[in-house]
Amino acid sequence: MIKKEMIAMLLAGGQGSRLGILTAKMAKPAVSFGGKYRIIDFPLSNCINSGVDTVGVLTQYMPLRLNTHIGIGIPWDLDKNFGGVTVLPPYEKMAGTEWYTGTANAIYQNLAYMEQYNPDYVLILSGDHIYKMDYEAMLDFHKEKGAECTIAVMPVPMEEASRFGIMIADGDRRITDFEEKPENPRSNLASMGIYIFSWETLKEALITNSAQPGLDFGKHVIPYIHDKKLPLYAYEFGGYWKDVGTLTSYWQANMELIDIVPEFNLYEEYWRIYTNSVSIQPQYFGNASEVERSIIGEGSEIYGAVNSSVLGCNVVIGEGSVVKDSIIMHGARIGKNCVLEKCIVAEGAVIGDRCRLGEGEEAPNETNASIYRDGLVVLGENTTVPDDIIVGKNVLIAGQTRAENYAGGRLKSGRSLILEGGEL
């Protein structure tokens, strides 16, 4: 008989629409982060580092990149005969076939997967946060308290508490009440979307509530367990935890990595982060290159200047170009004598020579001013920009653009240029 004490279910099916064009062709957990990584690497590495070697990854939205990245789990040592990583997409049934309609519904549809490992505990994770966390310590807490469900929480500044799901706990950390995005928060313990359930409790809660449309952990399952007066505990996490849900927070989290000793340190021997690296070759710096305060992935070739930026693998920066405060992802190529400031250039994008991106005054973006903001210039995957183009701030460009798409060789601040092949 196969027996796993705790298995993990990783919710990776969401689009993450607030990342705009970055998630046009891939689910949020597959978006690159920190040069060579993708967001899902963090929870996956946490799992194997915590001794959790059975992980079901629930996919739904644009799963190709995610599937390719996970493969059979080799980079995380999750290629196992019993357990390991399994990708779980929605599937057709005799009756009642449906998509994953909510976080808990997705888990409910995979009861059979969990059942075959005969677990005592199930860890529910989401694939869209940057953090290092020992789930085993959380499990110890869960056992010690005799909890049926433990929610990982993080103290946040009181003034920000109204943006989160807030847990109210007593002195023993037992949750007495909770509120979703409260106007007047009674506590500053924000839910991190990480849960440990005792298996029988989870199973019973999912089956009982299975008819609930859009079955969700925060909205339905946790309230159900609370109403049944089952022991529900808050596990306080004190380390670095970053939600990279918006373009601005995504950009900031990347920029934090370039500090001398960053708060989130990737260079510690202990608790390494693993990834399926696009490239393993060394990076090359040309004779006229300049580089400062930056991290750069394998195989990149730098002939120009890179300052305060995060570069992925196999990126080429042409001679005379200056890249500043930017994120350049895998395989992107920047031509010669360009200036890029506060740009997010997605994978495989190509920029011609003598382009200037991120110039001038800010103006609200015409497509979505709440996503494309804070002066960022965002280029979608495989976008091309021809030579001699000047681009303002809060701009979005997607598709194979040509010179005639830019009136007077310019794209003003706040404008969006979306061509076929670069759909939103």
Partner 1 sequence: MRAIGIILAGGGSSRMRELSRKRAVCAMPVAGSYRSIDFALSNMEHSRVQKVAILTQFNSGSLNEHLMSSKWWDFGRKQGGMFVFTPSFRNENSNWYRGTADAMAQNLSFLKNSHEPYVVIASGDCVYKLNYNKVLEYHIDKEADITIVCKEMPPEFDTERYGSLRLDGDGKVLELVEKPMVVRSNIISCGIYIIRRRLLIEMLEKSQRDGQYDFVQDILVRQQGIRSIYGYRLESYWSNIASVEDYYRTNMDFLKPEIRSFFFWEYPEVHSKHSDLPPAKYNIGAHIKNSLLSSGCIVNGTVEDSVLFKQVYVGNNCIIRNSIILNDVHLGDNVYIENCIVESRGDIKEGSHHIGEDGIRIIVEQGERYTL
Contact between 58 and partner 1 by CB under 8 A: the answer reads: no
Contact 337, 305 (CB under 8 A): no
40 counts as binding partner 1 under rule CB under 8 A: no
Beta bridge partners of 316: 301, 333
- Per DSSP (E only), the strands in 89-171 are 121-126, 129-131, 149-155, 165-169
Residue in 365, 367, 363, 352 with CA at minimum distance from that of residue 409:
352
Q: Is 287 in the site for partner 1 (CB under 8 A)?
A: yes
Note whether 266 binds partner 1 by CB under 8 A. Answer: yes
Rounded distance, CA 405 to CA 417, Å? 8
Q: Which is nearer to partner 1, 302 or 351 (CB)?
A: 302
Nearest to 391 by CA among 421, 360, 370, 368: 360
**Between 233 and 251, whose beta carbon lies closer to partner 1?**
251
Q: Which of 277, 368, 400, 405 binds partner 1 (CB under 8 A)?
A: 277
Q: Does 35 bind partner 1 (CB under 8 A)?
A: yes
Judged by CB under 8 A, which of 95, 260, 404, 420 binds partner 1? 260
Reading phi first (left if > 0) and then psi (alpha if -120 to 50, else beta), residue 345 is in beta
Which of 289, 368, 400, 405 touches partner 1 (CB under 8 A)?
Answer: 289
Determine the interface stretch with partner 1 among 32-40, 111-119, 167-175, 406-414 (rule: CB under 8 A): 32-40
Q: Which of 297, 304, 352, 399 binds partner 1 (CB under 8 A)?
A: 297
Q: What is the 3-state secondary structure (H, E, C) of 151-177?
A: EEEEECCHHHHHHCEEEEECCCCEEEE
The nearest distance, CB 305 to partner 1, in angstroms, is 11
How many Å apart are CA 247 and CA 266, to the nearest integer? 22
Q: Which is nearer to partner 1, 103 or 309 (CB)?
A: 309
> CB under 8 Å to 400, separation ≥6 — which residues?
382, 383, 384, 419, 421, 422
**Smallest distance, Å, CB 46 to partner 1?**
14
Query: Smallest distance, Å, CB 134 to partner 1?
Result: 17
Asked if 345 is part of the footprint of partner 1 (rule: CB under 8 A), the reply reads no
State yes or no: residue 278 binds partner 1 (CB under 8 A): no
Query: Does 281 interact with partner 1 (rule: CB under 8 A)?
Result: yes
Which of the 8 DSSP states describes residue 335? Answer: -
Q: How many residues bind partner 1 (CB under 8 A)?
A: 38
Q: Residues interacting with partner 1, by CB under 8 A? A: 34-36, 74-75, 258, 260, 266-267, 269-270, 272-275, 277, 280-287, 289-299, 301, 306, 311
